[in-house]
């Protein structure tokens, strides 16, 4: 009788154990898939939060009292393009938006705030891409009164002071 009872338990427990192992494996696989999906959703949420912050900064700059818009025009014999700068003297926030011909790999474009007094101040380095409009924001020291804004073509990585030709220029009036 003892052998029959042992076989009965084995006949019940072995398939139950196998079923439990299969279900555990399926649940583990599903858990890994859900973890990957959650990580992707979290990364997407962070990207959207960053885009929202940037949109708020742009809206704040546009609506801030004292924000000026300076159109930048191509200079003769230079790469074609057009841009504008929005700048707020009180907050020091600056936004560049424009499109230029792509630069070579050994060159970079550099935006400058030319103050009414003192040396030009670098406001960002960028490489142009023919497929989209360049757009960036920069926080400068508040209270710098601009005489003009300019984009120069500099050696890759930019320079502390302008050395290359002026590609775009606009007077801040």
DSSP string, 72-100: EEEPTTS--EEEEEEEETTT-EEEEEEEE
Contact 123, 146 (CB under 8 A): no
Same domain, 148 and 116: yes
Last residue of a domain, one of 24, 44, 63: 63
Q: pLDDT value at position 5?
A: 66
What's the structural domain count of the chain? 2
Coil, helix or strand at residue 109:
strand
Coil, helix or strand at residue 144:
coil
d(CA 167, CA 173): 20
pLDDT tens digits along 51-60: 998 888 888 8
Same domain, 74 and 54: no
Q: pLDDT value at position 99?
A: 92
pLDDT tens digits along 104-123: 889 999 999 999 999 999 99
pTM as predicted: 0.73
> 32 is in which domain, residue-wise?
1-63
Q: pLDDT value at position 28?
A: 94
Phi then psi for residue 125, to 5 deg, are -120, 140
Pairing between strand 107-115 and 67-74? unpaired
Positions of the chain with pLDDT lower than 70, given as ranges: 1-6
Same domain, 39 and 83: no
72 burial (CB, 10 Å; 0-12 / 13-18 / 19+) is buried
Contact 161, 155 (CB under 8 A): no
């Amino acid at each position: 009788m003892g052998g029959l009872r042992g076989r009965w338990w084995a006949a019940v427990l072995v398939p139950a154990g196998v079923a439990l192992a299969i279900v555990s494996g399926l649940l583990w696989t599903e858990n890994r898939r859900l973890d990957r999906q959650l990580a992707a959703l979290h990364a997407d949420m962070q990207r959207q939060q960053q885009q929202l912050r940037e949109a708020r900064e742009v809206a704040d700059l546009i609506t801030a009292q004292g924000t000026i818009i300076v159109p930048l025009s191509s200079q003769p014999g230079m790469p074609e393009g057009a841009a504008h700068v929005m700048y707020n003297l009180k907050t020091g926030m600056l936004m560049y938006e424009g499109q230029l011909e792509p630069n070579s790999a050994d060159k970079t474009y550099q935006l400058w705030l030319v103050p009414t007094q003192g040396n030009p101040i670098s406001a960002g380095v960028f490489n142009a891409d023919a497929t989209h409009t360049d757009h960036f924001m920069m926080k400068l020291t508040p209270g710098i009164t601009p005489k003009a804004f300019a984009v120069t073509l500099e050696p890759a990585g930019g320079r502390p002071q302008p050395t290359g030709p002026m590609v775009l220029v606009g007077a801040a009036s």
